[in-house]
Copies of this chain bind each other. A is one copy, B any other.
Amino acid sequence: MKLAILGAGDVGRSVADLAGEYGHDVVALADSTTAAVDANGIAVRETIDRKVNDDTLGTADPDDIFETEYDVLVEATPTTLGDAQPGFSHAKRTLTDDRHVVLANKGPVAERYEELQGLEAESAGSVRFEATVGGAIPVLSTIEDETPQAVTAIRGVLNGTANFILTRMAAEGLDYEHVLAEAQDLGVAEADPTFDVDGTDAALKFVILANVLADGGFSLSDATVDGIENIPGSALDLAAEDGRTIRLIGEATRDGVRVGPRLVPENSALAVTGTRNIVQIETRHAGSLHSSGRGAGGPETATAVLSDIGRLPPLE
């Protein structure tokens, strides 16, 4: 398939990098100000190097991307809340043009799910968004294969930064500020880590899951969210005395979304370590399915995008 990739951060660049291996052509790669466009396929390696070294993808305009002949728009621009712009407009433009959109951007599916579904219903193109939840872990495809009606709840750890911090606090007996600084040095936490540590990032993902289960109806403002910023090291020490630890756990059901720190047994499946993520999918007929893996990263998230592309139906 011909891919037009919007967003040249870790995810966008990784999708461009791996596309050939999966049998796809990259006809466009754009960031907010520059773009490389070629109907016969861009020179991916060169373009990525140009971005990394010179901070430009090429001389084309990002809007040119929509004038190119492509099958799938990969929307990998930064997640925005509320009106989810410009991501939502990008998806809308693509669906209006009867093309597919594969999202790595959580905004449109967390904040404007029903509108997006409406646009999809009117389009020959489809919307997929595996990459918005759990990085490399096949969460949404599993729910799709089980059928959402057969899934009763999803619980888990979906933010690797917060999980890493809690793992290190427990392992080293260090306090939050200290471990956050360590996480930033390692590149596990961003310079502004707010959305990771206050639970917003995890909540967006569980809101997306609730929307899938309930066929819409939820946005971030519906979630009950608590972060990890106020957990003292002593709380983890006390938990350990009881054979337990603390993890930032989220839960999505048809009735709502909650994210917050929870006590879990140290050897429980939910006590994943480091930056790993885990989901527990509760089903009607098949008990509890657990899936864990790397929840973030360029190549990891790119595999979710490429997996989605592989599941798109042919365009008319």
Contact = CB atoms under 8 A, between A and B. Distances in A.
Interface of A: 14, 18, 21-22, 135-138, 141-142, 145-147, 149-150, 267, 269, 283, 285-294, 299-300, 302-304, 306-307, 310-311
Contacts of A306: 147
A33 B272 CA distance: 50
Nearest to A136: B286
A286 B311 contact: no
Nearest to A149: B21
A311 B310 CA distance: 12
B141 A289 contact: no
Nearest to A278: B290
A286 B299 contact: yes
A310 B141 contact: no
Contact of A292 (B22, B285, B290, B310): B290
A133 to B, nearest CB: 14
Contacts of A307: 145-146
A69 to B, nearest CB: 25
A303 B286 contact: yes
Tell me the number of copies of this protein: 2
B291 A303 contact: no
Contact of A290 (B285, B291, B300, B311): B291
A149 B287 CA distance: 30
Nearest to A22: B147
Contacts of A149: 21
A298 B154 CA distance: 23
Contact of A145 (B21, B141, B147, B288): B141
A145 B150 contact: no
A16 to B, nearest CB: 13
Nearest to A294: B287
A283 B136 contact: yes
15 contacts: A14-B285, A21-B150, A22-B147, A136-B283, A137-B289, A150-B303, A269-B292, A285-B299, A285-B300, A285-B303, A286-B294, A287-B293, A288-B293, A290-B293, A291-B291
Contacts of A290: 290-293
